[in-house]
Chains A and B, each alone.
Chain A
Amino acid sequence: MFATELGSVSGESAKIYLRPETAQGIFVNFLNVQKSGRMKIPFGIAQIGKAFRNEIVARQFIFRMREFEQMEMQFFVKPGEEMKWYEYWKNFRMKWHQALGFGEKNYRFHDHIKLAHYANAACDIEHEFPFGFKELEGIHSRTDFDLKQHEEFSGKKLRFFDPETNESYIPYVVETSIGLDRMFLAILSQSYKNEKLEDGSERVVLSIPPALAPYKVAVMPLVKKDGLPEKAREIIDSLKLDFNCQYDEKDSIGKRYRRQDAIGTPFSVTVDHDSLTDNKVTIRDRDTMKQERVAISDLHRIIDEKVNIENCWCDFLPRRHGEQRVTQRKNYKLQNQLHPLRDE
């Protein structure tokens, strides 16, 4: 662990650590959250945050760093029900990954044979990185080890009182823990493609799932004059509250398209002279490279349909617009329907 000193006093008593995992911040707040949020078991506490480990061998780009970010969720359950929830979260987390559409063959479970002293079941979700299948996420059934330990060291009771059975107990914990930097690398390496085009030229494209792309749309005037830049900025103003937009007027249109491909922008919109009179623009799709002439007033809907985060989970979480959206999203179709927690 990384250690430093608190305040100006040096010596062993002032030694303080940079957390090596975010999980403990959740365990020590278990009762605070349960009481203030009136939570009933089963319930979960989630957190995204930095953690630090003084790795001896840190390497493979952002895969293993000494400073890294975790996305963790600790799910508190009744003792004896942990295996049911372990299976639920295994299943749910795998679907969360596969919903991004990179293909099921890039993910696999790796069950731990040798368990850590606190676990009674554990597995990794492994992803095929450029350097092979490696751990991306862990799902662990941690029993009551952590809360029990904190009870012992703090002298405070960390128990849940079940009003239905009138008994209190230390809950069991099922945890999902994913490395954010690893997830970032997984998306980057799956999206990065060097494509040969029909005309013999090449393009580098980042086919990032649209919902995750840094920019959703680039708006570009065909030329830097005749009022086209102003029209382009007008379009950006109408979109930028909902979508991250980029304005680009440098270089030829072809070069600008290539640049947007290289940073994974799902749509490019070109404003030409006709746009000033017919209020239509050309919209180009990053993946198909197809161009279409559409009304400026339709842009918001067209972009939203593709980049909405709903597209990622259309088959495993509830939707706003019911079934009709699903039919458009064959890419994201998942094999098994998984019901949300409240149906349990």
Chain B
Amino acid sequence: MSAQEDKLKDIIGHAKEYGFVFPSSEIYDGLSATYDYGQLGAELKNNIKNYWWKAMVHMHENIVGIDAAIFMHPTTWKASGHVDAFNDPLIDNKDSKKRYRADVLIEEHIEKIRAKTKKKLKRDAQNLVMLLMKQHSEILIPTL
């Protein structure tokens, strides 16, 4: 694992040293999880886009490309389900200042209960077997 982390660190360092990727607004100590593509990064990125566009659009007669705006009519996001419908409900823990997804918390809790029940069932079954073995010591019962 640490060798992998080292490799990622090396790549990040190399990308910065040669102008592929810089941390965003670095003179202000950067902004978390935001990066700028440098002079070589912009070239590489354009070449990737070109490889994709050529293979998908230009090499297929029945595919065309568009460039739509980032802003869209707000109703778009109601129709797509991003607003109202499947927005992930979030819960803030005001003490720890940590944010959680409510559905994940619930799922994890259910999983905990399930594991507990399973353990209890197994214990009960084992107890039952022990009891039966005591009562009918002449019968061989396979242990669970």
Contact surface of A with B, Cβ cutoff 8 Å: 1, 6, 15-22, 24-29, 33, 37, 39-40, 42-52, 55-56, 58-62, 64-67, 69, 71, 73, 75, 96, 117-118, 130-132, 146, 149-150, 152-154, 176, 178, 180, 183-184, 187-189, 192, 194, 204, 206, 208, 211-215, 244, 262-263, 309, 312-313, 317-318, 340-342
Contacts and interface: CB of A to CB of B under 8 A. Distances in A.
B51 interface: yes
Given A208-B44, A244-B43, A318-B59, A28 B65 contact: no
Given A18-B70, A188-B11, A28 B63 contact: no
Nearest to B37: A184
Nearest to A116: B86
A1 B83 contact: yes
Nearest to A318: B59
Given A130-B7, A149-B80, A313-B55, A56 B99 contact: yes
Contacts of A26: 66, 68
A184 B18 contact: no
A317 B76 contact: no
B64 A46 contact: yes
Contacts of B60: 44, 340-341
Given A24-B80, A208-B44, A60 B8 contact: yes
Given A20-B82, A130-B4, A28 B62 contact: no
A66 B34 CA distance: 7
Contacts of B79: 146, 149-150, 152-154
Interface string B1-42: 000110110111011001111000000000011110000110
A1 B54 CA distance: 31
B49 A180 contact: yes
Interface residues of B, number: 62
Contacts, number: 203
B75 interface: yes
Given A17-B72, A244-B43, A342-B61, 19 more contacts: A22-B68, A24-B76, A25-B66, A28-B72, A48-B52, A65-B33, A69-B45, A71-B56, A117-B81, A132-B4, A149-B80, A153-B75, A188-B11, A211-B47, A263-B18, A309-B50, A317-B59, A318-B59, A342-B62
A19 B33 contact: no
Nearest to B40: A214
A73 B63 contact: yes
Nearest to B98: A56
A65 B34 contact: yes
Nearest to A52: B70
A22 B65 CA distance: 12
Given A48-B49, A130-B4, A214 B72 contact: no
A152 B80 CA distance: 11
A184 B45 contact: yes
Given A24-B76, A61-B12, A180 B45 contact: yes
A212 B8 contact: no
Contacts of B33: 55, 58-59, 64-66
B55 A48 contact: no
B3 to A, nearest CB: 9
Contact of B52 (A6, A21, A71): A71
Nearest to A50: B70
B66 A47 contact: yes
B69 A25 contact: yes
22 contacts: A17-B74, A17-B83, A22-B68, A24-B80, A29-B66, A44-B63, A45-B63, A46-B56, A51-B70, A61-B11, A66-B33, A130-B7, A130-B11, A184-B41, A187-B44, A188-B11, A189-B8, A263-B18, A312-B51, A313-B55, A340-B59, A340-B60
B57 interface: yes
A139 B41 CA distance: 26
A37 B64 contact: yes
